[in-house]
Structure 1
Amino acid sequence: MKAFKLPAAVLFISCVFLIGYLIGKYQFNQPSREIVIAYEDENNSDIKIIKQTIKDTEKQHVIDNFFMIWMQKKPLEDTESVGEGKPDFYIMVNSPKQSVRLINAQIWFTEDGAIIGEEVGGSEKQLNYFSIPKENANYIKAHINNKEKLR
């Protein structure tokens, strides 16, 4: 009877750990944040082509750095000529677990860095404009796979 209790206990404990591992693996595998990078279709500006998605389950450091760049953006004073023409890319930051879009923005790369047009009230026509320095713009460029569309 004692010889049966020890293997049964080891088997029971192993099953508990295995079940916990599998639940954790499947439950926490969904990203909590993702960055979607898209650009306009050349023939139809209403169509956005998703170039890539960066998920925090794969590249947490990139997500963290994007948020740091976003927190350091500076409001633009003169916005009259900003936003004319197609943006180089659209950047959307989503929370898939909550099914919410956190940031919806357009970005234009310039010689001095980049200009970000962040949507206000869910409208692509109403934007608040910000600037980021060249180092931050270069970081964003380095993480966009579509190199031929970059200036």
Structure 2
Amino acid sequence: MGYETPHQEGVIEIRNVITDVNNQDKIDNLQQVLAFAKQINNEKFDLGKPNLHLFINSPKEGVLLIHAKIWFTRDGAIVNMGDYRKVSLTNAKMLKKIVGYKDL
């Protein structure tokens, strides 16, 4: 989990790493939130910089499985994983708690 640095464009500072060895329930919950987020069709967004970058890697293969850009909103979150998806407020709060999100 990382944040874009305010001083360097496009540089992501990694702040938290959750491994499935120690936190399988957290990884499972993250994947559930992302998998069941509702796809938003054909909408263009000007959301600015994401609040959070979430990377999910395969520990076995050592490859990136998911890079999600996340913008938190008043009513949940918008996630970009190649397409845009809407996350409910309840799931957005759970997502923040799981990754230890802190407003910058």
TM-score by length of 1: 0.64
Does 2:5 correspond to 1:41? yes
Higher relative contact order, chain-length normalized (CA < 8 Å, sep 6+): 2
Q: Quote the Cα distance in structure 2 between the aligned partners of 1:146 and 1:65.
A: 15
Greater helix share, 1 or 2? 1
> For the residues of structure 1 that align with 2:10 and 2:65, how far apart are their CA atoms?
21
For the residues of structure 2 that align with 1:84 and 1:133, how far apart are their CA atoms? 17
Residue ranges of structure 1 left out of the alignment (5+ in a row) = 1-36, 120-127
Q: Which runs of 5+ in 2 are unaligned?
A: none
Q: Under a length normalisation based on structure 2, what TM-score does the superposition of the two structures give? A: 0.91
Other-structure match for 2:100: 145
Q: Do the aligned partners of residues 146 and 64 (structure 1) sit closer, same or farther apart at CA in structure 2, a change above 3 Å counting?
A: closer
Cα deviation 1:33-85 (Å, max 9, x = unaligned): xxxx01101011221100100011111110111111112111113522x2431
The CA RMSD over aligned residues, in Å, is 1.4
* Contact 1:39–1:51, Cα closer than 8 Å, also in 2: yes
Percent identity of the aligned residues?
A: 33
Task: Kindly report structure 1 stretches of 4+ aligned residues shifted beyond 6 Å.
Answer: none
Q: How does 1:91-106 map onto structure 2 within 5 Å? A: 91-106=54-69
The aligned length equals: 104
